[in-house]
Amino acid sequence: RSAALSERRQTPYGKKMIAEKDGAVGWMIFNNPERHNALSFDMWEAIPRILNQFEADAEVRVIVLKGAGEKSFISGADISEFDKKRASTEAVAQYDQVAHEASKRLSDAAKPTIAMIRGYCIGGGLGVALSCDMRIASTGSRFAIPAAKLGLGYRVSSLQPLIALIGPAFAKEIIITARQFDSGEALGMGLINRVVDEKELEDFTADYCRRIAANAPLTMLAAKRTVDEIARAPRDLDHELCERLVEECFASEDYVEGRRAFMEKRKPKFQGR
């Protein structure tokens, strides 16, 4: 791809997000490598805008998400913002709404989406990857949802894609252990579609995109929508119970402790209250 640099067109969305068009491929680049591409509030806000740009361009047939640099896809939410952006019930609600809308917009994208994962794919980063149609990862990638180490609650909308993809047993293991899984484990769970050698990742993904771009757009859209409908959660889901449990997490002393421990680079001391 480096040889075609002059043919690519980039559009910045703030300081940390880039939309890059390369022929039939639209690249959404999370450009915050100093913080391992941790998702800030403004990055969440940019996701729908970039998708709007790519979907309005008839030449773009497939959309790829990638992290800048060599170490991370997305390392999770930018927790340094949490004291300001998620310190109150109202702030949590606003942050969650923006993140939910961005994830839903990605899930509802009218064109095929691929998460090209190199390095860390953690927390909200895994959520972004799960909102894509496919996930292609390098051999050295690492996956985790460390919510249990932070006192965070995961809402139904965040867990549904995970459970639909890998089932309840693996979903519980990921959440309850809060540990990091390597690319081999992730492939075995069905969390990712393909594992590719580090040096071949970008070329492999670009070749996949060429294959996809040659296919019928309406057929692909029909498949995306139909599969999503089939995978929907049961109608008798107790949303009120799930919401109450999540709110109890955010209202807890453990949530405050989890944030402070992360910022102070120490192990949290949770009390279960």
Residue 9 is inside which H or E element, if any?
A: strand 9-13
Q: What pLDDT does residue 86 have?
A: 62
User: CB neighbours (10 Å) of residue 239?
Assistant: 11
Residue 235 pLDDT level (bands cut at 50, 70, 90): low
3-class SS of residue 153: coil
The pLDDT of residue 3 is above 50:
no
Alpha-carbon distance of 242 to 247, in angstroms, equals 9
Q: What is the pLDDT of residues 245-260, one digit of tens each?
A: 888 888 899 888 888 8
Q: What pLDDT does residue 83 have?
A: 66
Q: What pLDDT does residue 272 have?
A: 82
Q: What is the pLDDT of residues 56-113, one digit of tens each?
A: 999 999 999 999 999 999 998 887 776 666 666 777 788 888 988 999 999 999 999 9
Phi, psi of 262 (to 5 degrees): -65, -45
Q: What is the pLDDT of residues 151-172, one digit of tens each?
A: 888 888 889 899 999 999 999 9
Q: Are strands 25-30 and 17-22 parallel, antiparallel or unpaired?
A: antiparallel
Listed residue (94, 156, 93, 147) closest to 125, CA to CA: 147
